[in-house]
Amino acid sequence: MTATWLAFETSCDETSVAVGREGCILANLVSSQAKLHAEYGGVVPELAAREHLRNLPAVARETLAGAGVPSTALDLIAVTQGPGLPSALMVGLKAAQSMAFALRKPWYGIHHHEAHLYSPWIGGQPLRARFADFQPNVALVVSGGHTLLVRVKREFEHQVLGSTLDDAAGECFDKVAKLIGLPYPGGPVVDQLAAEGDPGRFEFPRPLLDDATDEFSFSGLKTAVRYFLRDHPELLEEGQALRDLCAGVQAAIVEVLVTKTVRAARRLGVKCVTASGGVTCNTAFRRDLQMACSAAGLDLRLAERGLSTDNAAMVGVVAERRYLRGMPAGAMDEEIRLGWELPICG
């Protein structure tokens, strides 16, 4: 059975469309709205939806042309169905359902975190999904919307070990950046500044680091930075202090993520760790997780930087696996799924 797919991802502020066939990614375009939202210091949901509406048809046309695939050759349509920004998700979902209806093909609504979860298994040149290498693993999904630790016993068999009780790690990066006066999205800017900072100069709390559970919490860290800046406003005027501050906050977030992920893998006797989601782009995170995994004798699969942030390729790859396994497709009257929990099985 062949499976040529077209995938849409519009859950936040990236308009992304991808085309793939039998595990190969033929095209994966991402049109970012980050500049537009930077003016407001964060994503404005209605603006995001309007931009998706404006851009999606052109991005889809360009992706199909780049892949050299006519729409008549598609076997299925994939789309992020949730969680995400409601109006933004709706644009992708309605586009997917309309195309599926017009082409008389099935459509698959994919959970956004499940798409991130399998993105470490996509790689190489040319880009392809390498599920033949799949091993049971502990997966960290760490983005602007979520911080999730999952045990993946086999493909599509998930046990959520823990998640964040409040802010996601990426949200913490972004909120701290905003407090310091850095542009949105703050994560990449903090990463850049931290590269020239001293992580030991200012010490920040490591929330729930020694907690016995696999839960995370990052809002206290953000509050600690707020109080710290209230007490030392002069530091905001000093370039090196700002870089040291970024390095200190980053070190706290990274230590919690790395320690809890490796600890869970060791406790469960799992030999492989994966990490995905926007925060996986962070330089210190990639370095420290690699070092911790090597020290613990764990295989590490990190999503490639280009596939860590939101993209449609990861959505299409999961949909293709579901389609080939004969899993049920979506119905035409289905809506976006906002409070959708990560599917446990299947």
Binding residues vs ligand KG4 (CB under 6 A): 12, 143-145, 170, 173-174, 185-188, 191, 277-279, 281-282, 309-310
- Which among ligand KG4, Zn ion, none contacts residue 207 (Cβ within 5 to 8 A by kind)? none
Q: Please report whether residue 114 would count as binding Zn ion according to CB under 5 A.
A: no
Least spacing, CB of residue 45 vs Zn ion, in Å: 15
CB 212, min distance to ligand KG4, A? 27
In the bound state, the residue with its beta carbon closest to Zn ion is 143
Q: Decide: is 310 part of the binding site for Zn ion (CB under 5 A).
A: yes
User: Scanning the structure block, which residue is given the tokens 């020694």?
Assistant: 210
Q: At 199, give phi and psi (nearest 5°).
A: -70, -15
Shortest distance, position 282 Cβ to ligand KG4, whole Å? 3
The label of the residue with tokens 């595990």 reads: 23
Q: How far apart are CA 90 and CA 300, in angstroms?
A: 35
Q: Would you state the structure tokens that stand for residue 341, as one six-digit string? A: 């929990």
Distance CA 165, CA 101 (A): 40
Binding mask 121-160 for Zn ion (x = CB under 5 A): ----------------------x-----------------
Q: Which C-beta is closer to Zn ion: that of 137 or that of 276?
A: 276
Nearer to ligand KG4, 116 or 158 (CB): 116
Nearer to Zn ion, 114 or 244 (CB): 114
Q: How far is the CB of 105 from ligand KG4 (least distance, A)?
A: 27
- Phi and psi dihedrals of 291, rounded to 5? -65, -45
Q: How far is CA 319 from CA 19, 236, 276, 277, 313, in A?
A: 12, 47, 18, 18, 10
Which partner, ligand KG4, Zn ion, none, binds residue 282 by CB below 5 to 8 Å per kind? ligand KG4
First-to-last CA distance in the chain?
Answer: 20
Place of tokens 């459509």: 107
Q: Least distance in Å: CB of 335 to ligand KG4?
A: 20
Integer CA distances (angstroms), 103 to 24, 27, 299, in order: 22, 20, 42
